[in-house]
């Protein structure tokens, strides 16, 4: 645990740091499909959001600002001045906040299956209340159904079960606190301040943060490029592991060799 956040670090110690932020109800383990490819060139640091995985669990509600400031404290504690950052969904929301509010710390940015404003707020507050009442398990199937396409889920029942298990292991206060952060979030006015070269990845079959949300982010960030992946729902890095690894590698090092 560093600065209250659980981190997993892989890759060469002297390589540039790539910080990975995961989605609501997952941990840094969510990024496992990309770790082998990305550690060829980067020191890959995966952190668990506040209230998730092995990180500390304050009572909440949280805000995106609070989640972002925790990441800045993490970078300070790790002694890292500047990083590349890739985040999926909630991880992307924190990434937008970091790039807008601490742009000097973010080199290149990748935002996957995320949104700058994800209403309706009442829905997120109702989900937080359900989870605070101890009923995350009762809504887990409906949540996970949006993470994977039906075809992928039919072919990979064990993978889906593993992610469901990650979801229901999330501390209730942490999950609810992050739902409340999303309810209160509007990052749209911040996006014009993002200076980092940015890759925005949407997924054609993502019902949680549909590709229109990715397009809306890319329109507002001055140096953004948009890619929409087909054959994937919300956890596009799990359904399209090689495609996501290649897109990230090419974006982070445009002059470099893209992994096979
Ligand atoms: O799990 C969901 O409901 C979809 C989602 C929204 C933000 C996030 O990180 O995941």
Tell me whether residue 125 is exposed, middle or buried, using C-beta atoms within 10 angstroms of its C-beta: 0 to 12, 13 to 18, 19 or more: middle
Kindly list the distances between the CA atom of residue 184 and the CA atoms of 179, 199, 210, in Å, as whole numbers in the listed order. Answer: 9, 25, 19
Which of these, 3, 137, 136, 11, lies nearest to 84 by C-alpha position? 11
pLDDT in tens, 94-124: 999 999 999 999 999 999 999 999 999 999 9
Mean pLDDT of 163-169: 98
**For the chain, percent of residues with pLDDT exceeding 90:** 97
The structure tokens 């960030």 sit at: 221
Test site for ligand 1: of 21, 87, 148, 182, most ligand atoms within 8 A of the Cβ = 182
Pocket test for ligand 1, best of 208, 213, 236, 237 (most atoms within 8 A of CB): 208
Q: Predicted ipTM?
A: 0.96
H/E run at residue 150 = helix 150-155
Q: Are strands 7-10 and 43-47 parallel, antiparallel or unpaired?
A: antiparallel
pLDDT in tens, 21-36: 999 999 999 999 999 9
Instruction: Map residue 30 onto helix, strand or coil.
Output: helix
Ligand 1 in reach of 94 Cβ (< 6 A): no
Residue 216 clears pLDDT 70, i.e. is over it? yes
């Amino acid at each position: 645990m560093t600065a209250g956040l659980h981190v997993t670090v892989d890759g060469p110690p002297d390589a540039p740091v790539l910080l990975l932020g995961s989605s609501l109800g997952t941990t840094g383990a969510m990024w496992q499909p990309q770790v082998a490819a990305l550690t060829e060139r980067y020191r890959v640091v995966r952190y668990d959001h506040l209230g998730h995985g092995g990180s500390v669990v304050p009572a909440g509600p949280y805000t995106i600002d609070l989640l972002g400031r925790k990441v800045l404290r993490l970078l300070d504690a790790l002694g890292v001045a500047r990083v590349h950052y890739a985040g999926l969904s909630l991880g992307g929301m924190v990434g937008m906040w970091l790039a807008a509010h601490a742009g000097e710390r973010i080199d290149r940015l990748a935002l996957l299956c995320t949104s700058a404003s994800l209403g309706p707020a009442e829905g997120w507050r109702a989900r937080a209340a359900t989870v605070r009442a101890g009923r995350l398990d009762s809504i887990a199937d409906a949540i996970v159904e949006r993470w994977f396409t039906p075809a992928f889920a039919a072919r990979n029942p064990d993978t889906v079960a593993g992610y469901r298990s990650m979801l229901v292991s999330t501390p209730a206060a942490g999950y609810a606190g992050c739902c409340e952060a999303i309810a209160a979030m509007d990052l749209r006015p911040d996006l014009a301040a993002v200076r980092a070269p940015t890759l925005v990845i949407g997924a054609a079959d993502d019902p949680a943060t549909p590709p229109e949300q990715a397009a809306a982010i890319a329109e507002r960030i001055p140096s953004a490029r948009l890619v929409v992946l087909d054959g994937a729902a919300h956890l596009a890095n799990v359904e399209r592991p090689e495609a996501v690894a290649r897109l990230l590698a090419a974006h982070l090092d445009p002059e470099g060799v893209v992994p096979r």
